[in-house]
Amino acid sequence: MLGRRTALAIGAAAVAGARGAAAQAWPSRPIRIIVPFGLGGSADVAGRFLQEPLQQAFGQPVVIENRPGAGGTIGADAVAKAAPDGHTLLLMSNTHTANETLLPNRPYVLMRDLSAVAFINVAHHVLVVHPSLGVNSVQELIAYCKANPGKLDYASSGPGTPYHVAGEVFRAMAGIEITHIPFRGSNEARTALIAGQVPMMFDAIPTMTEQARGGRVRALATTGPQRSPLLPDAPTVAEVLPGYEASIWLGLMAPAATPLPIRERIAAEVNRVMDLPATREAQQRAGALVNPMSVGAFDRFLREDITRQAEGIRIARITAN
């Protein structure tokens, strides 16, 4: 019995040693961060912000690869199928936790085929309309929709994305009928809105602030619990619809079975960068907040958010289209 226990202990130590050696040898080639959304969106901006400090920390190039489409599932599936060696990461959002309920036929299961790495940030949205719509407030928008049921379309970056969920929860809480028009990414949706092809959307506050200041869109309200310092004159949606709140959060995941020591090294560096006073100040100016988490804490956060998203989708009767 003693011999068997000793052998098991030696075997466990050998496995731990091998994992430690793998982590020490990592990275041995460039690291790819797949962003499953288009250029210019919150996820793309976050990935490019982290690119340089991660290159410096790990001594290898960090390549940002945009793979938009299908509500973020194309890029997520590519990472789920990648080698679990820490050289391919997914820059994901609450799009992916919503998709666990909204897209039952997606080609992967989030918490089975991917593993938690690091939380990045969280930000709220802004509700914007094209000036030609002729509404100047949330109240006027709701009144217009009630007088013209089903006439108004709103754009989003795709089914299940935070901007889609924000629109559907708004629809349900306001008691109106509006039609979802999904695009391949925020950039395409934003372009359609500015061109007047679609009259309304929820989008990232920093991205739309300059468009609003230039008069190309009209910012009606932001979606946080307090007014945004970037758009201090814009009320919150909650001032009209009490309890309304919508946000987008971002994080990193890796293929399932990626060694924990590697994921912890990445998380430690992301947490260090995001927790720098200069980063916190820059993120706040951009309308985002940081909240460093351990790998285990982020894993729990993901599982809880899947449940939260499922409840919101049920209440708002959201369907992919």
Q: Which domains does the chain have, with CATH numbers?
A: 31-122+248-316 (3.40.190.150), 124-239 (3.40.190.10)
CA 85 to chain centre: 23
pLDDT value for 177:
96
Q: What is the 3-state secondary structure (H, E, C) of the chain?
A: CHHHHHHHHHHHHHHHHHHHHHHHHCCCCCEEEEECCCCCCHHHHHHHHHHHHHHHHHCCCEEEEECCCHHHHHHHHHHHCCCCCCCEEEEEEHHHHHHHHHCCCCCCCHHHHEEEEEEEEEEEEEEEECHHHCCCCHHHHHHHHHHCCCCCEEEECCCCCHHHHHHHHHHHHHCCCCEEEECCCHHHHHHHHHCCCCCEEEEEHHHHHHHHHCCCCEEEEECCCCCCCCCCCCCEHHHCCCCCCCEEEEEEEEECCCCHHHHHHHHHHHHHHHCCHHHHHHHHHCCEECCCCCHHHHHHHHHHHHHHHHHHHHHHCCCCC
CA 246 to chain centre: 12
Q: Tell me the per-residue pLDDT of 62-111, one tens digit each, with 9 for 90 and over.
A: 999 999 888 899 999 999 999 999 999 999 999 999 999 999 999 999 99
CA pair distance 5, 1, nearest whole angstrom: 6
Low-confidence ranges of the chain (pLDDT < 50): 1-2, 14-16, 18
pLDDT value for 229:
87
pLDDT value for 179:
96
